[in-house]
Amino acid sequence: MKLLLPETLRAIGEKSAIGQRLDEIEALRLYECGDLNALGQMADEVNRRKNGDFASYILNRYFNYSNYCILSCQFCAFSRKKRDADGFELAVSDMVQKAREALSIGITELHIVGGLHPSLPFSYYTGMIRELKAVDQRLKLKCFTAIEILHLAWLSKKPVPEVLGEFRSIGLDSLTGGGAEIFRQEVRDSIARGKETAEEYLDVHRTWHNLGGRSTCTMLFGHLETLEDRVDHMRQLRELQDETGGFSGFIPLPYQPDNNGIPVKYSPDGFDMLRTLAVARLYLDNFDHITAYWVGMGLKLAQVALCHGANDLHGTIMEEKIFHMAGAETPQMQTENEMINAIREAGRVPVQRDTFYEPIREWAGEKVLSKI
């Protein structure tokens, strides 16, 4: 690791302190910074200007409708073929049951993704959205990655804007940000051959944003990519955000090493996770929210990330398969109290948020300060 000369760090810090946009060379210089405390402090100052003392979490529930997939991305430990004994697909009625249970304990968002199923009809997906929305209109549905949307467009023989418009009209609230991986094609070919290109990923999100929808976006880091690839990935997200303003938040995802075909046997270390969040906070000046994903980082390190540029801990989640099948050793869920305590102990004010990072409740001490 090169040590960034203090005067260079100071010059970049002064630029970000007055709200000037950093370029890619400067982002790379920050990545090469050996002084994590100084980098984290710079990112923390930018975060506090945007979000004050608040840090958020969401009461959400994950589930997957199926893990059957026609692709075989090298990094994926989740997908199965029809011949595999541990493949599954849920009936819509099972999902409705999960939605009812989630609603009864205060969950505000269902986060639903799956593989590219070889045979389920398009009506399965529209039925899923309709019936889940019918459980309660207030339950926000955050579903599908960009590659699933492309698959469903192919399946239905409809253009992407039509598929997205139809989903939006029947109750889809947000796209998920999954599947971005790393945008550079050579890396994509090595970790997710056959998946959509960067342009296709971005174009699905652009189309959704132009329809009035919002989505999150991600970056899978710590495998075969270079630091230049990470900065270039964030550059492309920043450019789309300049164009549409439709990204509600950025969620860097640390690579998980088990049960896949990639010759990288370790997750990124804690230092790398924290500096990635800090660089993201400093470089992505047009993003309001940076999420520390506790499923990949662990709650304790995600908590520390709240002082390194992140302002959100993601959610309660309840049932996570994709990271855990790839070796994540974190629990399946966090309780609301655990998330509140983690935020409070980091010296921030906990805020329960909705799918779009809008506040629902603020906490002061043990009390709800405001209910919005």
What is the b/e burial string over 13-36, where b = at least 16 CB atoms within 10 angstroms of the residue's CB?
beebeeeeebeeebbbbbbebeee
For ligand SF4, the binding residues (CB under 6 A) are: 69, 71-73, 76, 78-79, 115-116, 147, 192, 195
Between the alpha carbon of residue 99 and those of residues 87, 106, 120, 334, 360, the distances in Å are 22, 11, 21, 18, 20
Q: How far apart (Å, rounded) are the C-alpha atoms in residues 324 and 89?
A: 18
Of 12 and 73, nearer to ligand SF4 (C-beta) is: 73
Side chain identity at 76, as an amino acid letter? C
User: Are the beta carbons of 46 and 16 closer than 8 angstroms?
Assistant: yes
Q: How far is the CB of 233 from ligand SF4 (least distance, A)?
A: 17
**Pick from 45, 37, 52: which is nearest to 16 by CA?**
45
Of 75 and 283, nearer to ligand SF4 (C-beta) is: 75
- As given in the structure block, the two tokens for residue 301 are 């390190």
DSSP state of 171: T
Q: How far is the CB of 140 from ligand SF4 (least distance, A)?
A: 23
Of 65 and 287, nearer to ligand SF4 (C-beta) is: 65
Of 69 and 135, nearer to ligand SF4 (C-beta) is: 69
Strands of 140-143's sheet, edge to edge? 60-64, 109-113, 140-143, 174-175, 214-221, 247-254
Side chain identity at 335, as an amino acid letter? T
Q: How far is the CB of 228 from ligand SF4 (least distance, A)?
A: 24
3-class DSSP state for residue 270? helix
Write phi, then psi, for 108 (nearest 5 degrees): -110, -10
Q: How far is the CB of 178 from ligand SF4 (least distance, A)?
A: 8
- As given in the structure block, the two tokens for residue 16 are 């970000």
Side chain identity at 257, as an amino acid letter? P
Q: Residue 266 class from Cβ within 10 Å (0-12 exposed, 13-18 middle, 19+ buried)?
A: exposed
User: Are the beta carbons of 10 and 29 closer than 8 angstroms?
Assistant: no
Of 145 and 241, nearer to ligand SF4 (C-beta) is: 145
Q: How far is the CB of 79 from ligand SF4 (least distance, A)?
A: 4
Of 124 and 356, nearer to ligand SF4 (C-beta) is: 124
Q: How far is the CB of 162 from ligand SF4 (least distance, A)?
A: 22
Q: How far is the CB of 42 from ligand SF4 (least distance, A)?
A: 34
Q: How far is the CB of 136 from ligand SF4 (least distance, A)?
A: 28
- As given in the structure block, the two tokens for residue 125 are 């997906």
Of 40 and 115, nearer to ligand SF4 (C-beta) is: 115
Of 38 and 71, nearer to ligand SF4 (C-beta) is: 71
